[in-house]
Amino acid sequence: MINIGIIGGSGYTAGELIRILMFHPNATLDFVYSTTNAGKPLSVAHHDLMGDIEMNFTDTVNPNVNVVFLCLGHGKSKSFLEQNQFASHTKIIDLGNDFRLTKDKDFDSKSFVYGLPELNKAAIKNAQFIANPGCFATAIQLALLPLAKNEMLTTDVHINATTGSTGAGVTPSETTHFSWRSNNMSHYKTFEHQHLGEINQSVNQLQADYTNELIFVPNRGDFARGIFATLYTIIEESLEDVVAKYEAFYKDQPFVTVTTTGINMKQVVQTNKCIISLMKKGNRLLITSVIDNLTKGASGQAIQNMNLMFGLDETTGLHLKPSGF
């Protein structure tokens, strides 16, 4: 059994990790660390766990666990690792953005591998430290990587993506307040969202000469979870050729489905799936990519990475079905 610790246990990504790991056949939860809720039952923060798990939050860590998931606010993982040491065998999966970029991947004798399985599966299998991708970054990269692999990106890519309120984290703010969010929509961090760095990095990993712009407008949606992303760019190849390249790229990737039909977000919410729809009008290719921001965009992908790191089938514990109604 894989002995697991979770740091930053009160947030949405930690709650999603617990929900999935409770039924993972090869995992056992050793501790869930939270300084604000130490000594209290997990169900105090994660009401969906009431009656399902008898465990309290703790403010101490077991340094000898097999793997630790860091579910801290962005920029806080480095300071936590500076103050807390783990055993030499402990694998670390960071769900924050501290180590995602190449310039940040090396830290205190640790070298983090960017944990997008559909791009870096071989490296993930041999890694001890993983930087889990961002949620927007996951949806957008999976939409673009087959084009980059085949060096088909030649112009700017226009991206419009909408995320649920859980993408903003568990701490309340003006834009997550129900009376503001309900029946409302807005964009934020237009053209400068922090996930653009890792998206560009992955695109250039496959198509080094791509220097055009990814023009990204992120939106806040009137729903709790999910990401609905649409992208368009100029592609001269036929739709049939494009579809064939996407299917070839993802043929061994169990969580990605390619289609030419219309898709919707409910097809992926509460699952680790990504569905990509391809359509063409003239020489413009429209790519639609849908994921659950908390699962494939965060905790589910982190467990997928854990499975790969421990030599398990990457789908273990992740056979999750969406609810279409």
SS3 288: strand
Q: How far apart are CA 10 and CA 243, in angstroms?
A: 41
Q: Which residue among 27, 72, 116, 135 is the active-site one?
A: 135
Distance of CA 4 to the CA centre of its chain: 19
Beta carbons within 10 angstroms of residue 66's beta carbon: 19
Q: Is 230 helix (H, G, I), strand (E, B) or coil?
A: strand
Residue pair 60/68 in contact (Cβ under 8 Å)? The answer is no
Phi-psi region of 39 (alpha: psi -120 to 50; beta: other; left: phi over 0): left
Q: Which residues pair with 233 in a beta bridge?
A: 285
Q: In what order do the strands lie in the sheet with 91-94?
A: 27-33, 2-7, 67-70, 91-94, 129-131, 113-114
Backbone angles phi, psi at 144, to 5 degrees: -105, -25
Q: What is the 3-state secondary structure (H, E, C) of 172-207?
A: CCHHHCHHHHCCCCEECCCCCCCCHHHHHHHHHHHC
- Geometric angle at alpha carbon 34, from 31 and 35, rounded to 5°: 130
Compute, in degrees rounded to 10, the torsion defined by CA atoms 252, 255, 258, 264: 180
Active site residue 135: yes
**For the chain, how many residues are written?**
325
CB atoms within 10 A of CB 228: 21
Q: Are 295 and 320 in contact (CB under 8 A)?
A: yes
CA distance 99 to 302: 14
Q: Are 231 and 287 in contact (CB under 8 A)?
A: yes
The catalytic site residues sit at 135
